[in-house]
Structure 1
């Protein structure tokens, strides 16, 4: 995780979109968290968004909900910040599924490309993105800043819809992973139905 750069993430996105255009008639992007940040940057590029009929952005990261987050983009932070915060980041898995499937420990330098992507996304004008989008995120998200997502949503260039999921009891207490059988199994079916309904309503056949 520490080897990839912000540019590498964008190259991966470009390759994925090229594959999608090659095998499908129309393309709908479904992206989560920092993946939604990358998707937003791709959609701001007229060449990369060619053939994209719509985008579903789940808990997108337009700001990290941590008062120390600005340090990640300070000059030379990659070199001096790990000395202060530690060389590796780790967290205790919430359940066996997360322990088995998630990366619960990684080099602390892996967060710098993510921070760079978030900074790029915040610097662009979302009004230049004409693609229809569904923003699917919770106001209770404690991992990212929903207020900054509100701002992007309000200025989005294409038709934009907001759905604020109400998570079931026992689902992600951070309200960031708002669907998926590992962290929010009680909300997965509702999320899937809402996204399918949006595609059927908002993207012309």
Structure 2
């Protein structure tokens, strides 16, 4: 935090001269990297709101730049009729009109009719997690996409739907090929992921309106 304050102070005092010099040097260094080394592993994690929101925004930005995007969502299934995740409406519409986006929802129905959730895992939940894992492997090995997002892949480990080794295998495939930007979300990370990631952002709950009686709302939380 002190480092961030020092940067702000320097910007205010010198008009950002040192920081702009650093930006220029970073841009020059980036030009000399191989195409593979320009691709990075992002992890957005934590118990605060905003992880899926962040990666969906990143997906929109990438699509807008003409990049081919694939999204696999773990434990966020779709039965073909009851769609609980509003972002998928617009993603499907973008695909229909020709934008380069593929979305793969996996998982079983978790939402009860009264708005509560089913937390206990069933056999079908494990099967769906494995299906998502297979899709993710195929996408990473295909070389067809510029950006691959695995929403809740890390969370699937916390929920015991996948093992740490499953996620680490995906990371190893990425590191071997490095032919795309690779992004994952979840609640908890571990040392191996932290060591291999290029960017880690923690979404930390400071205050949440759920505690004041505001439930998850369509178009805001889902």
Give the number of the structure whose alpha-carbon radius of gyration is greater: 2
TM exceeding 0.5: no
Q: Which has the higher contact order (CA 8 A, sep 6+)?
A: 2
- TM (norm. structure 1) is 0.32
